[in-house]
Structure 1
Amino acid sequence: MARSASGDSIVDRVVRLLEAFGPERPVLTVSELAARAGLPLSTASRLVEQLTEHGLLSRDPDRRVRVGLRMWELAARASPALDLREAAMPFLEDLHAVVRQHAQLGVLDGPDVLFVERLSAPGAVINVTKIAGRLPLHASSAGLVLLAHAGPDVQEEILHRPLRAFTARTITEPQRLRRVLAQIRQEDFVHCRGHIHPDAAALAVPVRSASGQVVAALSVVVPDDERALSRVPVLRAMARGIRQALSAGPLNGSGVVDPGPPSA
């Protein structure tokens, strides 16, 4: 495989180029792509042209670059989150109709929660989450639920990392994080007040497969007021509905082979 003078392969360079796009920057110039990917402008320009020819990138009339429909098509065909999202959507829509704020579904991906779906309402409280967006596990309600039920190696990795503060209420102390994770496993939900934005509260519950394995987190973002905790029962009911829908589908609907019952 061809490598550059720095030793990185063509695949490495293509991945860095594609990772330069994000929910906040879906469209970039070639110069911006080169800078964000850490590539020479000539290399970035050549790769953009090749990826555009294959439909993996596309150009706007002003020559700015965005991810192409071909990329979306290929990703949608084999996405491990596709079955999960399809099973969850009817319940996510019902949840959204009840809370009339933000309802979202997230999965564990490395040190982050990756949001595979989000429904919002006009005039809803501020929410930084976007579909295909990420947040650190320690900072968001969905992330905390997923971290609480992740393996010990994942938990220890996060606990030994710097914990970024979004607000004064974000959990940034490892010992406090350990206590919160234990509480989540005991109570089976989490209530985060102002962890991402001071005016918003978030609540989340785990979504389980037929065997009880946590495969996702279902959450809402609502105003930080006395009514926030009243959403927990409907969250739990919708999570149970998603579990039943997953159990009826192939591979338990999660897109991966069910690993069996959780360890004690």
Structure 2
Amino acid sequence: MANSASGEAVLERALRLLDAVKTAPSPSVAELVAAAGLPRTTGYRLVRSLRELGLLEVSADGAVCVGRRVWELAQQAPISRTLRTAALPFMQDVNSVVQQSTQLSVLAPEGVLIVERLSRHGAVVNPAEVADTMPADRTSMGHVLLAFAAPAALKAWRHQQSPDPLTEDSRLQRELAEVRARGHSMLKGLINEESAGLSVPVLDQRRTAVAALTVVVPRDSPDLLQSLAALQTASRGISRVLQEK
């Protein structure tokens, strides 16, 4: 594969453009190329190639967005075909009971990756979006994923943090120990002052977290126990389906 003068492969430069779409809201081609840190001629040529492949699209007003082909490819990833497919019916059940946002997430080196999200009209503010990454040490879903993480996943996450929260923050260490003991996490007002995140792990046969199942509810909701029961029932159901696959 051809390299640039800096030694960077074409694929790496194309990936920088796709990553820049994620961080720059509705950029123009010029803004996208600048955000990716590419030379103008190189960037425009790559954008044209990515458009021809269906990986980028440009709207009538000149805004660049991810192309439909990226979404089509993403649907074939194991995380969509297995975890998301198994979880979705149970998430819909939780959503109908709690009447607030319900989401599924996994632990990634960068943080907590949102795999699926269901909401309701009038639900409390929830900034999480599918494919977003949120901080693991500041979210209830992150706490259950860290508390029940497989050693390799935990090591990869810690490697990306600077400084390492698990050595720097004794409060986080205590909280994760409590999460392991009680089997769920609830954090109020950290991401949004008006909301609380309530999360349980989806466990495999080794009692390791495959994912986190979360509801985002009003901070002073009187229905937290009901929400927790719905999450726990759904989590067991997802685990059972995954083990049968």
In the superposition, the TM-score normalised over structure 1's length comes to: 0.84
- Superposition pairs for residues 118-133 of structure 1, below 5 Å? 118-133=117-132
List runs of 5+ in structure 1 lacking aligned partners: 164-170, 250-264
Q: CA RMSD in A?
A: 2.2
Question: Number of paired residues?
Answer: 241
**Cα distance in 1, alignment partners of residues 12 and 21 from structure 2:** 15
Counterpart amino acid of residue 194 in structure 1: G
Alignment of 1:1-264 (within 5 A): 1-22=1-22, 25=25, 27-150=26-149, 151=151, 153-154=155-156, 156-157=158-159, 160-161=162-163, 174-227=169-222, 229-230=224-225, 231-249=227-245
Check conservation: 2:74, 2:80, Cα contact below 8 A.
Answer: no
Q: Structure 2: which amino acid aligns with 1:237?
A: T
Quote how far apart the aligned CAs of 1:224 are.
0.6
Give the secondary-structure state (helix, strand or coil) at the position aligned to 2:199. Answer: strand
Q: Percent identity?
A: 42
How far 1:63 sits from its partner (Å)? Answer: 3.0
- Looking at structure 2, the residues matched to 111 and 87 of structure 1 have their Cα atoms a distance apart, in angstroms, of 24
Please give the per-residue CA displacement for 1:68-106, whole angstroms capped at 9, x wherever unaligned: 111211221234332111110111001011111110000
Summarize the Cα distance change of 1:192–1:67 in structure 2 as closer, same or farther, 3 Å threshold.
same
Structure 2 unaligned runs (5+)?
none
Between 118-127 and 153-162, the greater mean CA deviation after superposition: 153-162
Q: Distance in 1 between matches of 2:85 and 2:102?
A: 15
1:234 partner letter: A
Higher percent of residues as helix: 2
Shift of 1:38: 1.1
Mapped partners of 1:156, 1:228: distance in 2: 34
Using the alignment, how far apart are the partners of 2:138 and 2:156 within structure 1?
15
Contact 2:198 2:216 in 1 (8 A): yes
State the alpha-carbon separation in 2 of the partners of residues 28 and 182 from structure 1.
43
Match of 2:75, SS state, is helix
Equivalent pair of 2:148/2:207 in contact (CA under 8 Å): no
Deviations 1:173-195 (A, max 9, x none): 61111111111111110010111
Q: Deviations over 1:205-229 (max 9, x none)?
A: 0001244331100001000115253
Tell me how far 1:35 sits from its aligned partner: 1.9
State the alpha-carbon separation in 1 of the partners of residues 181 and 123 from structure 2: 30
